[in-house]
Amino acid sequence: MLIAPSLLAGDFARLGEEVKQISHSGADLIHLDVMDGDFVPNLTFGPGVIEAIRPYASIPLEAHLMVWHPDTYLEELKQAGVDRVIVHQESDVHLNRLLHQIRQMGFSPGVALNPSSPANLLEDVLDLVDLVLVMTVNPGFGGQAFLSSMREKIAKVAKMRENRSGLSFRIEVDGGISPATAEEVVDAGADILVAGTAVFRNPPYTDAVHRLRMAALGKKPS
């Protein structure tokens, strides 16, 4: 089980320092929410900012692209030093081509699903990805409440993986993940927990990451 703090809840005036601190917090990777103000009703940062913070990171970076035309940013994301690229199923009708392209460029490919999109939309791309991201809030903002109805979708994706041989993607959840919700998503089948508010708004980060990990394992923090 891996913990991926989302920089969206970090202090944007001190991004380099935030990335450095979170790299030494016991977290496994850093989740970067790229939003274009159109696919989702919010704007964040793009490849330029990611390139600027890359030198401060000592754990892998994943970019969660909440943008239309995700293919247009791939070259720059490569340049920026991103390790994994997660695209939304809803953002591109040629998902097969896009996921192949992401893999060919040397990224680890992931695919994300909005809360309103059923799990079976991913059936024909599951063999192309390293990761399926089940959104547990409607994307666009941090600090929203976990949608408990998504538990069933996580379990369904886990079943799809179990029932077909040769599939080894990880299941990630994103939105409203905290020590209060970590255990139920892990029980449903989640392998990677994205957490913005629960980590960056609850310093020190080492303790926040530890609390999440303990909660996910069903233990009280020591």
Q: Which residues bind ligand DX5 (CB under 6 A)?
A: 6, 8-9, 31, 33, 64, 137, 139-140, 142-144, 174-177, 194-198
Nearer to ligand DX5, 126 or 195 (CB): 195
Q: Closer to Zn ion by CB, 56 or 141: give it.
A: 141
CB of 72 to ligand DX5, least distance (A): 20
Q: Give the contact letters, 19-48, x = binds to Zn ion (CB under 5 A), - = no.
A: --------------x---------------
By CB under 5 A, tell whether 84 contacts Zn ion.
no
Rg (CA), the chain: 16
Which of 34, 67, 174, 189 touches Zn ion (CB under 5 A)?
Answer: 174
User: Nearest residue by C-beta to ligand DX5?
Assistant: 196
Closer residue to ligand DX5 in complex, CB, 69/201? 201
Q: What is the largest CA-CA distance in the chain?
A: 48
Catalytic residue chosen out of the listed positions 11, 28, 33, 38: 33
Supply the minimum distance, in Å, between the C-beta of residue 56 and ligand DX5: 19
Whether 95 and 80 have beta carbons less than 8 Å apart is answered as no
Q: Is 59 in contact with 30 (CB distance < 8 Å)?
A: yes
CB of 172 to Zn ion, least distance (A): 9
Beta carbon nearer to Zn ion, 92 or 174: 174
How far apart are alpha carbons 114 and 98 in whole angstroms? 18
For Zn ion, the binding residues in 126-165 under the rule CB under 5 A are none
Is the Cβ of residue 7 or residue 125 nearer to Zn ion in the bound state? 7
Nearest to 192 by CA among 34, 56, 78, 31: 31
Q: How far is the CB of 55 from ligand DX5 (least distance, A)?
A: 22
CA 145/CA 101 separation, integer angstroms: 34
CA 216 to chain centre: 16
Is 174 catalytic? The answer is yes
What residues act catalytically? 33, 174
Residues that bind Zn ion (CB under 5 A): 33, 64, 174
